[in-house]
Structure 1
Amino acid sequence: MSLPPWISGNKHKSSAPSNGFLSATGKVRNPKKPKARPPKSLRETVLLPVRSLPAYSGPYSVGTMEIEIPVEEPRTFSNITRKGNHLLQLKTVLMTIYYPASPPQKKRPSRQLWLGRPRMSMAGGYGHFSTLGPLGVPIFLPTMFTKLPAFRNAPLSSQYPPGTGLKEEDKDAEETTEEEDDGNSEYEDEAPRFPLMIFSHGLGGTKTAYSSVCGEFASYGFVVIALEHRDGSGPRSFVNQPGSGEIVFDKNGQRDPKHHHRKHKDTHYDVMDYVFPKDNAWDTSPHNEKGVDRELRGAQLDLRLAEIEEAYKIINTINAGNGEEVDKKNMRREGYKASSTHGLEGVDWAAWKGRVDTEYVVAAGHSFGAATVVDMLRHEKRFKWVAQGIIYDIWGSGTRPAAAEDEKIQAPLLAINSEAFTYWPSNFDLVSNLVEEAHPCPAYLMTVRGTIHVSQSDFSLLYPNVCSIFLKASANPERALDINVNASLEFLSMVMPTIPYRIKKAFPNEELLRTQTHHLEDIPTIDMHKPKDEKWMAARLRIPHEFTWRVAPGLARKLARKKVTEGGGSPDDEIWLHCKPVEGTVEKYNSTVERLKDRRKSKDAKTVPASVGPNEGAKQEPGCKEWRN
């Protein structure tokens, strides 16, 4: 699908020149190495067969908090039932918050489990999701001991990234990116105010299944709320009943966690497993003749949006200095199902007051989570606080179409595809249309070469051999993570002027979004890894010299790098940038944002126009409506 010239930046389609060794031979290109990261601990390098996750690359240590809070108004969604009960119910909201932290002071700080508790039961949930049943449990044995490279309940950092102090040459940049009166100015003795991101997982995901992506953002200065959706899209989730985990004491005054509140002694938690659509279990397949179960997927989206709103209320409560209220209500502590005994122990709630920017929020998600993000962006009156969206490998079939003409994307958008999903024609058309819909806001569409659908989650990092041998992923999993995060940070640095300059200054910038555009139909066949058999479309890739790349991808990449000149090659070796805004679009958008801020601060401005064009007095264009009024 070709794109309009006002998006792609090219009036005519042109075949992008191939470069490096792949252009001549058709071999898989991935010449760059991943970013340097701190070494792993002995526990993660000596104890076998424990699988470990790479440490985060940003300037901050990362802390996590695990929170489950009862919602103010429990309710059901749709009339779908299973075994006589409403299937989709909102009782509590569950999340892990990743955030920039100070280095832990404890000798052996606590870290959150990746798989979650109870481990055998969670592995069984993945067995159910994968349809392997009990046979799936041994596959997750190595990850039962995997811990996040982040520290539980660590102190929120009060420092800017090292080496980003304001120098004379930075003052002009600081003045153009920060406002003096909006609480976002940067003084040497002030603690930073961190930008907020909300992350929505895909089918089979949990609050920790994307810990590498979420943790990377946190290591660069973001507070990230990773939801665990209880909509039947995850492998298994435990929903606690309020009060069911209250510890009682025996007559000797000893704590007895085995005895729960009498009211819930038999049903103190619910189990939400993955829900397969009736008579259409594989509605996710590109070849499914019945198509997507719209009733189920639409109801799941409704529940997801409600969970996100509840999570947003919680972070606002914390940001207002009332974190103790969250601590008291939290049901992820001793006595509750699937909980750590640590709970929120040791969190300095006073340090969180006013430290998160909850007005201009990034919405990000993968697969069905990306479809959730699109739904948020299309309801800008409901989600006024969402300022821009990032969609990783969106599941187009699960995306709900806009219900009305005014329900269009009104915010900057970055779409990053895996190479496997790029070869799914209807899916690529949909994501291309979403990028076009976001006009005139800045919007980008990019493909990361050599990647598959799970490359934007932790699974490719924990199971690299499975991904290379069975799904034919050729990209280094850590490098693929770097590309996704670096491109996202580059995008946010351009379209999010509310990020403090000294935090933004620490972002890596490979200028991935400034490379030449590649129209999909003009890419030489030799450079593509589209499966020959249509049954593998979107599921896996086709690669040359399969034995080497599938069995020893690390060795294959090492040999490939030797054929590239020193310097690591071009970004074109690793990505295809399909479309980007024309020159000046980003500047016009940011100018619009700044004018809207000025108008809000003006005592004489009672209202703000519904839309603001790029120039005063010019013809108004659709999109970029009154920015979160």
Structure 2
Amino acid sequence: MVFGLSHLTPRRIIIFTSASLLFWIFVFSLTPITSPLPPYTGPHEVGILDVETEVQKRVVHGAILKETGEKAFELETLAITLYYPSSLPLASPRSRPWARPWLPQPISLIGTGYARLAGISFKPLQSVFTFGLWLLGSSTVIPGVVDAPLLTGAEKILEGGAGAGGLGKILGAAEQEHMELKRSKELGTLPCVVFTHGMAGMSQSYSHYLGSIASYGYVVAAVEHRDGSGPGTIVHYLDGKEKKVWHMKLRDFETTPPMTDLDLKEAQLNFREAEIVETIKLFAQLNEGEAPVVNLKPDSPREALPGFKGRLNLSAVTVAGHSYGATGAMQALKFAGTKEMPINAGIALDPGKGSGPLNKDIDVPVLVMQSGEWTEKQVEFYGQGKHFDVVRKIIDSVKEGWFMTLTGSAHPSCTDAPLIVPWIMKMVTGTTLDPKVALREYIDTSVRFLEYLQTGEKKGVLASEVTSKAGPLGEAEKRKKVKGEYGAEWEVHVVPRE
């Protein structure tokens, strides 16, 4: 339902706004419902940097936006948030912001975006969304050091050192540097991960999951998609101009013939695929270090970027995603190993149930992790059967494929939301698993998978046999579980064929 001026008198506006403000103040004063994001789980400090660069302009789909008359799916710039392992001096020679605000700026953009997503066009009501978002997220910061230097080849974190969130112990001896350089040919440089967010999500919605992966020695690029799936984003141009991209629905387009839901999904997934390609190109540009990367993101520093030269392992690029992003990640695997998509594997968290059919053409290692909620609540999936069975059959056909469920978790359990507003998320989702434990399990299993890609060694849950092949579609007594690294229970549905 779209609220318009005809539905709201001035008296109703005053009553509604006052009641909303009183409600938020009352709730906020009752209990501290927001919590800070915890330190990352790995041994390295984490650098964070927002980057936006120009790309080769192209139109992915010809749909026109009714509101502006502009092309809806024209790719002009790439925006990402980089998470990477960092070398930090004990005393910084210059002042440096030590954290990034969790909410993108301006907050009004995101508040208005979520209001529009909910079908609310009346500006005073949109302001209520912005106010609520400000109350819940304005004080939250993403741990890490903005524009920190990339981890050096000489740095070595001692086992049992400073631990997560600490500066770590840096040994800069020449002998160690010599050994690191000697081993670099065998171990390669830093592997890379491209991450694609879910519907109504943003690039920073998964900061703890992605930052923790980075803290184990991976360079992660979280894409800020401009495909109309998020609440709102701003495209920045070299001449200083800006363009806002809002959430898009079928009624927003002008096409002949009219777009269908599947047409929209196809256009968005193809746009995301183009952004994944551009992210990999950016990795290559950073690694070459010859042409400087022009960062269009306002107020975003860029001194760390030259330090990426020669430090990225472009033969080890993994694509990962959640929900809609998981569907997109699996689609990208269709082209893995090509010149544009030199992808070595994929990680899919809760592949979408309504984001279009899933790609079945996969011949690289893939890890699918579903939440307990996603596995238990089954739906018919595009005439192919139950969603669980469709996913199981796809992964069962892959030579090196894992499919498993983290029991007691919910669809948002891999995001930051349960960490920031645990009380609200528990009430809304009904999850029985502690949010910190759930994320530790997701992080540990993802890192074990990334390590497997480098070493071929299966550890943790990856070393388990199948415990529950049919999952929710089988007999209850045959649904066995295995303990994860942090005590949570997994159902393992598919493991690689011997």
Q: Same fold (TM over 0.5)?
A: yes
2:348 matched residue in structure 1? 391
2:334 alignment partner AA: R
Larger relative contact order (Cα-Cα within 8 Å, sequence gap ≥ 6): 1
What secondary structure is seen at the aligned counterpart in 1 of 2:250? coil
Query: Partners in 1 of 2:276 and 2:58 — Cα distance?
Result: 14
Structure 1 residue 434 corresponds to structure 2 residue 394:
yes
Using the TM superposition, give the Cα deviation of residue 444 of structure 1 relative to its aligned residue in structure 2, in angstroms: 0.7
Structure 1 residue 305 corresponds to structure 2 residue 261:
no
2:389 alignment partner AA: D
Structure 1 residue 203 corresponds to structure 2 residue 171:
no
2:316 matched residue in structure 1? 360
What secondary structure is seen at the aligned counterpart in 1 of 2:450? helix
CA contact (8 A) 1:396 1:430 kept: no
1:417 matched residue in structure 2? 370
What secondary structure is seen at the aligned counterpart in 1 of 2:251? coil
| Mapping for residues 98-177 of structure 1, pairs under 5 Å | 98-103=83-88, 105-106=91-92, 109-131=97-119, 134=126, 135-141=128-134, 142-158=136-152, 159=154, 161-163=156-158
Which has the higher Rg, Structure 1 or Structure 2?
1
Instruction: From 78, 82, 85, give the equivalent of 2:62.
Output: 78
What secondary structure is seen at the aligned counterpart in 2 of 1:58? coil
CA contact (8 A) 1:374 1:399 kept: no
1:431 alignment partner AA: V
Q: CA offsets, 1:190-242, max 9 Å, x none?
A: 99711001001111111111111110110000000110000001111001122
Structure 2 runs not aligned, ≥5 long: 1-30, 161-178, 254-258, 380-385
Using the TM superposition, give the Cα deviation of residue 390 of structure 1 relative to its aligned residue in structure 2, in angstroms: 0.4
Q: CA offsets, 1:276-302, max 9 Å, x none?
A: 23399xxxxxxxxxx981111100111
Query: Partners in 1 of 2:148 and 2:80 — Cα distance?
Result: 16
2:216 matched residue in structure 1? 220
Using the TM superposition, give the Cα deviation of residue 131 of structure 1 relative to its aligned residue in structure 2, in angstroms: 4.7
2:290 matched residue in structure 1? 322
1:574 matched residue in structure 2? 489
Question: What TM-score do the two structures reach when normalised by structure 2?
Answer: 0.77
1:408 alignment partner AA: D
1:112 alignment partner AA: R
2:235 alignment partner AA: V
1:270 matched residue in structure 2? 243
- Structure with more of its chain in strand, by fraction: 2
Query: Partners in 2 of 1:429 and 1:206 — Cα distance?
Result: 29
CA contact (8 A) 2:395 2:403 kept: yes
Using the TM superposition, give the Cα deviation of residue 375 of structure 1 relative to its aligned residue in structure 2, in angstroms: 1.0
Query: Partners in 2 of 1:525 and 1:238 — Cα distance?
Result: 51
Q: CA offsets, 1:440-496, max 9 Å, x none?
A: x21111111111111111112112112211220111111111111111122222233
2:49 matched residue in structure 1? 65
Fraction of identical pairs, as percent: 27
Q: CA offsets, 1:302-323, max 9 Å, x none?
A: 1111111112211211111236
Query: Partners in 2 of 1:352 and 1:360 — Cα distance?
Result: 15
Query: Partners in 2 of 1:569 and 1:361 — Cα distance?
Result: 26
Structure 1 runs not aligned, ≥5 long: 1-46, 166-183, 245-267, 281-290, 334-340, 499-503, 529-567, 586-629
Count matched residues. 421
2:441 alignment partner AA: I
1:276 alignment partner AA: K
1:53 to 1:292, Cα distance in 2 relative to 1, 3 A: farther
Question: What TM-score do the two structures reach when normalised by structure 1?
Answer: 0.61
Query: Partners in 1 of 2:393 and 2:140 — Cα distance?
Result: 39
Instruction: From 233, 239, 255, give the equivalent of 2:235.
Output: 239
Query: Partners in 2 of 1:431 and 1:526 — Cα distance?
Result: 19
Instruction: From 524, 531, 535, give the equivalent of 2:476.
Output: 524
1:234 to 1:145, Cα distance in 2 relative to 1, 3 A: same
Query: Partners in 2 of 1:63 and 1:52 — Cα distance?
Result: 18
| Mapping for residues 553-568 of structure 1, pairs under 5 Å | none
Give the CA RMSD over aligned residues. Answer: 3.2
Query: Partners in 2 of 1:399 and 1:241 — Cα distance?
Result: 32
1:219 to 1:570, Cα distance in 2 relative to 1, 3 A: closer
Using the TM superposition, give the Cα deviation of residue 77 of structure 1 relative to its aligned residue in structure 2, in angstroms: 1.9
Using the TM superposition, give the Cα deviation of residue 151 of structure 1 relative to its aligned residue in structure 2, in angstroms: 0.8
Query: Partners in 1 of 2:305 and 2:193 — Cα distance?
Result: 21
